[in-house]
Amino acid sequence: MLNQLIDDEIANALAGYEAGITLKINNLVDKQLSERLYDASEAGVKIRLLVRGMCALVPGQVPYSENIQVTSIVDRFLEHDRVYVFTNKGDEKVYLSSADWMTRNIDYRIEVAVRLLDPVLRRRVLD
């Protein structure tokens, strides 16, 4: 699912449509997904990451990560919400998930991601 959503944003960017990925997660260290985000950045996808813990991406490196912005959230409380937003040509796809982008979570655990379809709730999450 995640690879397809990233591929869709890459295709949108290459076709000249609005393309972006916003993630709010605790950790981003999965090598394969990190590489996919670099691919998306190189294709022109604007990527905004809000990461509480570990982040394997190096933002702002031309050409492979110049479209990646990482904001580290430092607080004494663990953030449990994980939100994935894919711009989808301006019709944003918003997912709530249990999974951080870590190999152990993506490949070895049972995690869920649920698309948020209600426009009122979606706006509340995005605001």
Binned at pLDDT 50, 70 and 90, residue 105 comes out as: low
Under DSSP, the state recorded for 55 is B
Q: Which residues contact 26 (CB under 8 A, 6 or more apart)?
A: 51, 52, 53, 78, 79, 82, 100
Kindly report, residue by residue over 45-83, the tens digit of the pLDDT: 999 999 888 888 999 888 889 999 999 877 776 667 789
Q: Which residues contact 110 (CB under 8 A, 6 or more apart)?
A: none
Q: What are the structure tokens assigned to 68, written together?
A: 């990646």
* Coil/strand/helix, residue 4: helix
Domain region containing 42: 2-126
Binned at pLDDT 50, 70 and 90, residue 36 comes out as: very high
Kindly report, residue by residue over 73-101, the tens digit of the pLDDT: 777 766 677 899 999 999 999 999 877 76
Binned at pLDDT 50, 70 and 90, residue 115 comes out as: very high
Q: Which pLDDT score, from 0 to 100, does residue 12 have? A: 98
Q: Which pLDDT score, from 0 to 100, does residue 95 have? A: 94
Total number of domains constituting the chain: 1
Q: Which pLDDT score, from 0 to 100, does residue 47 have? A: 98
Q: CATH number, domain at 70? A: 3.30.870.10
